[in-house]
């Protein structure tokens, strides 16, 4: 893929889950946008106030109160502003939304419509030509949840808006599906030096992870360009997927980490009735059995699926009644390790209508 070219009339908008993501994931790209004369706006979803271990070490506290977390969040905001100034972006172009750190997945599953409306309003007001977005494949739950929130906002609330170049970035995890579709942006020596200075502004984060954080300055930045932020393929236990209008089939393998006796949660999200979001959850039992699909809003059982297999390998069959057949689905197998996920959300494209498939085959022939 070709790296996007910025011009003086370009309007770049970045959505960052936490302070520091701007430097780690897009430090070189933002410099190139600024140097081209583009206008840049950065929106931070959270203040990163719940990154507790660096705070405990730096402040010498074991128990952290709400006031301590708010103070930490304010400190991280200040670090972000300092880092962005190194990259050439003034504080007037920076916005902090103060959404709950480590709570974006809950907001996604709870259907907080005000978040969608806030995203839509911000994009409409800024009218960007380029959007920098986290990837749904990121293993940090805040990153992947924000990616899904943004995707649903763009898909359901901003259809048919002015064309915009989407660049998806990944900070955490090693998604093979993301790597297959990403292009690499290598920084010059001067760009790497500035990126390193920006990363060092995040003192609270490099206090315990200096080597890991500074290594981001040496590696190329990776982006996927397009509306869908991963190439066809699967990560982690989900080996393959097959979707038609009525059913979704997932083939899964747990050879390295078998299902526990209490199973693992599976989430299925998609659109229904235009701008409405349908959120279902179920539990994989580790043996062949029916699985109840539970509405995340009401707690009611709204469908019945099936798991065929054991603790090591299986097939999941999920009915898709109530989901828009022409919109993408998102699936997440939740087997979290500390606060990182095993894998992020998987985006499953809408099935191609039969007429379109036939036309495509004729065009190839």
Q: Which tens digit of pLDDT belongs to each residue from 150-183?
A: 999 888 887 666 789 999 999 999 899 899 999 9
Q: Which residues of the chain have pLDDT under 70?
A: 1-3, 159-161, 231-232, 261-262, 274-275, 354-365
First-to-last C-alpha distance (Å) of the chain: 26
In the chain, domain spans: 11-225, 238-354
Relative orientation angle of helices 66-86 and 52-59, to the nearest 10 degrees: 100
Nearest to 79 by CA among 91, 68, 69, 67: 91
CATH of domain 11-225: 3.40.50.10320
How buried is residue 208: exposed, middle or buried, by Cβ count under 10 Å (0-12/13-18/19+)? Answer: middle
pLDDT of residue 361: 47
Whether pTM > 0.75 for this model: the answer is yes
CB atoms within 10 A of CB 170: 28
Q: Spelled out in words, what is the top-level CATH class assigned to the domain 238-354?
A: mainly beta
């Amino acid at each position: 893929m070709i790296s996007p070219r910025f011009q003086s009339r370009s309007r770049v908008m970045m959505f960052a889950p936490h302070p520091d993501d701007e430097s780690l994931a897009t430090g070189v790209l933002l410099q190139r946008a600024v140097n081209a004369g583009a206008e840049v706006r950065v929106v931070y979803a959270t203040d990163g106030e719940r990154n507790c271990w660096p705070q405990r070490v730096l402040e010498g506290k074991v128990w952290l109160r709400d006031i301590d977390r708010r103070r930490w969040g304010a400190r991280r905001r200040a670090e972000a502003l300092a880092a962005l100034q190194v990259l050439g972006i003034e504080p007037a172009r920076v916005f902090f939304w103060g959404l709950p750190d480590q709570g974006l997945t809950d907001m996604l599953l709870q259907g907080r419509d005000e978040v969608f409306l806030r995203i839509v309003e911000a994009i409409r007001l800024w009218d960007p030509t380029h959007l920098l977005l986290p990837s749904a494949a990121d293993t940090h739950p805040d990153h992947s949840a924000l990616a899904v929130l943004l995707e649903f906002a763009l898909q359901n609330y901003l259809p048919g808006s002015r064309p915009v170049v989407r660049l998806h970035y990944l900070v955490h995890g090693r998604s093979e599906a993301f790597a297959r579709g990403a292009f690499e942006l290598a920084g010059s020596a001067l760009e790497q030096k500035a990126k390193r200075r920006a990363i060092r502004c995040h003192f609270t984060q490099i206090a315990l992870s200096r080597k890991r954080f500074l290594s981001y300055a040496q590696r190329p930045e990776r982006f996927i360009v397009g509306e869908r932020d991963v190439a066809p393929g699967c990560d982690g236990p989900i080996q393959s997927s097959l979707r038609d209008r009525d059913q979704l089939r997932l083939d899964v393998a747990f050879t390295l980490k078998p299902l526990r006796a209490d199973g693992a949660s599976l989430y299925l999200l998609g659109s229904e009735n235009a701008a409405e979001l349908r959120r279902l959850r179920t539990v994989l039992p580790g043996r062949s059995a029916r699985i109840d699909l539970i509405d995340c809003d009401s707690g009611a059982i709204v469908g019945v699926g099936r798991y065929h297999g054991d603790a090591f390998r299986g097939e999941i069959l999920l009915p898709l009644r109530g989901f828009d057949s022409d919109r993408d689905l998102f699936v997440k197998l939740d087997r979290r390790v500390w606060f990182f996920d095993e894998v992020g959300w998987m985006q499953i494209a809408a099935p191609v209508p039969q007429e379109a498939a036939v036309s495509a085959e004729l065009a190839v022939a």
